[in-house]
């Protein structure tokens, strides 16, 4: 089974998307290498090859992961406010 890495689309500048992985590493790619419909804030799931290199052609918009991350951020924000 292939490994998966998640990337959040941080921003889009013209035809270039800036992505950030969960370790904080950034990569800039032409939009043409990503799925149609990619916007800032999207989460992409990308298969890794045997060497651990992202196979950009496998990129898919992962709405479930985006929802999970949004819910986690809201939970952490609520917990932080409770501690104040």
Segments making up each domain of the chain, as ranges: 4-83
Angle, CA 24 vertex, CA 78 and CA 33 arms, to 5°: 110
Q: Which helix (H) or strand (E) holds 73?
A: helix 63-83
Q: What pLDDT digit, counting tens, does each position of 5-62 carry?
A: 999 999 999 999 999 999 999 999 999 999 999 999 999 999 999 898 999 999 999 9
Q: Which residue has the tokens 């918009």?
A: 61
Per-residue confidence (pLDDT) for residue 77, from 0 to 100: 87
Answer yes or no: CATH 1.25.40 is held by domain 4-83.
no
pLDDT band at residue 81 using 50, 70 and 90 as cut-offs: confident
Q: The whole model's pTM is what?
A: 0.84
């Amino acid at each position: 089974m292939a490994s998966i890495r998640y990337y959040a689309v941080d921003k889009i500048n013209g035809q270039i998307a800036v992505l950030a992985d969960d370790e904080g590493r950034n990569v800039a790619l032409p939009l043409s290498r990503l799925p149609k419909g990619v916007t800032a804030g999207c989460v992409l799931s990308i298969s890794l090859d045997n060497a651990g290199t992202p196979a950009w052609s496998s990129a898919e918009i992962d709405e479930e992961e985006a929802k999970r991350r949004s819910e986690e951020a809201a939970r952490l924000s609520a917990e932080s406010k409770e501690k104040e």
